Structure 1
Amino acid sequence: MRPTSTASLLVGLALTVAPIFAQFIEAPIIRNNPSGVVYRATLLNKDTTTLRGSVTATAPPDGTGLVFHVNLRGFPDEQQFGPFMYHVHVNPVPPDGNCTSAGPHLDPYNRGEVPPCDASRPATCQVGDLSGKHGAIVAIPGEPYVVKYTDFYLSTNPDSNAFIGNRALVVHTRNGTRINCGNFRRVEFSGEDNDSVSALSASATGTRVVSALAASAVYRSTPTPSPESSFFTSAAVRTGGFSKGVVLTALVAFML
């Protein structure tokens, strides 16, 4: 029997994996988030960890994306367990506090977890992958992790499939172990709290407040891009899936 040529093998593999790539579509920018609606996930008071804090999200004035305020503290040892990741997961945490019950990452566009998120092309990442899009947490002993950014692909609108309400925030060690979690719940503000809502929803463009300065310093010094920035509309990802270069790379890696 004549050996199969490399070209024939590549064609066969391409036909095999094509349906997998075809299922993934680029996440759309969310532009209709309701004004003044605030959701907050507060980590549980677990005896098994010292990790505490909260993540708050609300729309900026134009309703495009969500402004996230992350304030976490009490991480385990960085060298042993870090860097740390955090994501929006599909299911709420049940009353027993079992973080595993939160299920997988929020991923309404079937992106999957492999290959890892490319932060320069956030529309191609899982919408719930906050640390993938905005930087993993490198913890500094005794210091809180405080950061603010805009995510253009999540929503506080219950009609959106990127809705974060009644879903869970889960914090992981670098090997994927879930160390703490909490549910996103709507925070009700009275009329006297309008200033607080305005402060939360102010645009985060160009703003990254980080107490742990040594953590991913280069990434955090980069201003948050507007949704019209070039990498949000990259021709390589506007086709509704991975670029041909990514597919070819995956095929070659498979062959090796």
Structure 2
Amino acid sequence: MDLSSGGVVPPTKPSFPCQICGFICTTKSAFTNHTGSNKCKENVLRRQRGLDHSAPVEASATDYSSSLLNQAAIPDAILQKAQDLQRLSSKLSILPAHQAYFLLRTCICVPKMNYLLRASPTWLCGDELDQFDSVGKSALEAVTNVKMDGLTWAQASLPVSSGGLGIRRVAELATPAYLASVYATSSVVSDITTATECYDLVHQLWQTASGAELPAENVRRSQKVWDAALVKKTCEVIVNTFANDVTHCARLLAVAQPESGNG
């Protein structure tokens, strides 16, 4: 508008861009209600699947850290968890060994990663998962005062019911956790968006690691079902390694029996 003719510039309409999905809200109340809503999640899913080609709002990786749908933030999130584990496990030395082990297994190691493993494709970040497992292994070695080589660590990272110490490797849990979560929430996701995902890669990774066929569809929402095949494969590898050592085989099979913890 020509100001010389006495025109008035209309006031600029306020806007509140969502830092997660880029949606522009016109009022603060709308922005508050939008963030984290189904609409926000749908926008992120559509952009990830290439259905929304609009320019995203400029934001740093830390701005997206609250949204695990953003794959670029996942490696940093895993490394942050590793740092947290290192900090917490460094305090375990002030406790008796049994109490330290109990806290490591049930509180400050894998339990701190469960949500991340189930809510995002962490299986794409193998190096970062290995770093987390390295910290967990060092913490367990410090608590037990035992140096663990490859096979010792492989057995220690099995579930207690399979003869291990229950300090699971997140690199092994990544695919079972994600697949179980995907199938458990598939009906909800289909209500939010009509787009479809291709899970061929994660299925292939799981099958390669387990050497098994995909579970029946009616049990695919169970993480235990996916995990059991990987645990079985690991147990077979350990037993086969000591196939010529009767003592080792007997010990490995004995600690995996349900009665082995009775005292």
Smaller-chain TM-score bracket: under 0.3
Give the TM-score taking structure 2 as reference length: 0.22
Structure showing greater radius of gyration is 2
User: If each structure's strand is expressed as a fraction of its own residues, which one has the higher value?
Assistant: 1
Query: Higher relative contact order by CA 8 Å / sep ≥ 6: 1 or 2?
Result: 1
Give the TM-score taking structure 1 as reference length: 0.23
